[in-house]
Amino acid sequence: MAMGTSGSRVGRAAEPFALADVRGTLHRSEDFCGQWLLLVFHRHLG
């Protein structure tokens, strides 16, 4: 497990979630169980 700041969730399981992609396909965290998953969030400026 990676070292992080106090209260860090690095190396721990993510909370369950479901997100839709641009085509409307729903992706759930359990679909990636046991695999590495990188989530990248972009801030869209007006």
pLDDT in tens, 23-42: 999 999 999 888 888 888 88
Confidence grade of residue 8 (pLDDT, cut at 50, 70, 90): confident
Q: How far apart are CA 32 and CA 14, in angstroms?
A: 11
Residue 13: pLDDT over 90: no
Residue 5: pLDDT over 80: no
Q: Is the pTM of this model over 0.85?
A: no
